[in-house]
Amino acid sequence: MKELDLDAGNSGLKWRLVESGRVIDRGIIIYGANAQKWSMPTKGACRAFVSSVSSKEVDDAIREVLKDIKDVFWAKTASSYGSLVNAYADYASLGVDRWLALIAAYSKYPEDLCVIDCGTAVTVDYVDKFGVHKGGYIAPGGALMLKSLNVNTAALKGTYGYDSELIPGSSTRECIERGVYYMQKAFVLSVARRCAESRIVCTGGGVKALLGNDEAYTYVEDLVLDGLRIVANAVPVN
């Protein structure tokens, strides 16, 4: 039985095809392309699971792509899942991607946790060993910082990336790229230091650039998608 998992974020969509519990294909779609040309292996899939924090337009495009799959599950944030308790008074306002990442992390590691997701935004959430969510932080990711400088400062227009060299830059480009990298790394290290006794679970495309292969952190590639499958299949989390 084939099942399609989708994680629609702020700037792109991540998908994977699962058969008998094994990932057999995966891909990433960056928004901006014609939704009619989105390439996902929907043929033969009998179920689809969706996590989305994206726009109505993207959600509508997803529905169109999945129109031939009869069983489609859209995840929603809840006040609790098993022993995991959402810290937000307005629980539905916690992004479903953060919620699913917490569920997956706590399911894998039922202990004091700091969960860091480095994507378009960098999100941090804390949960204790009893499953009580202690809140977290949201900060702009590197791409957003670079874009804000590029868009709002005419003299700096150009294409920028990350530069992990931490010595002061000797050109405007180096100063921008190293400054943004330094801010990102300092933020992640600071929030991680706050929970030095906890397991730090990281996910997202920006993690490797910031942390490399530091063994102090537990990296899980598909944390949101893993949480999505737990909720969609009603797997207990004690």
150 is in an annotated binding site: no
203 is in an annotated binding site: no
Bridge partners of residue 49, in order along the sequence: 5, 73
Instruction: Identify whether 97 is a catalytic site residue.
Output: yes
88 is in an annotated binding site: yes
170 is in an annotated binding site: no
141 is in an annotated binding site: no
25, 68, 97, 222: the active-site residue? 97
172 is in an annotated binding site: yes
12 is in an annotated binding site: yes
Could you list the residues known to form a binding site for substrate, using ranges.
88, 95-98, 172
Give the active site residues: 97
Could you list the residues known to form a binding site for K(+), using ranges.
117
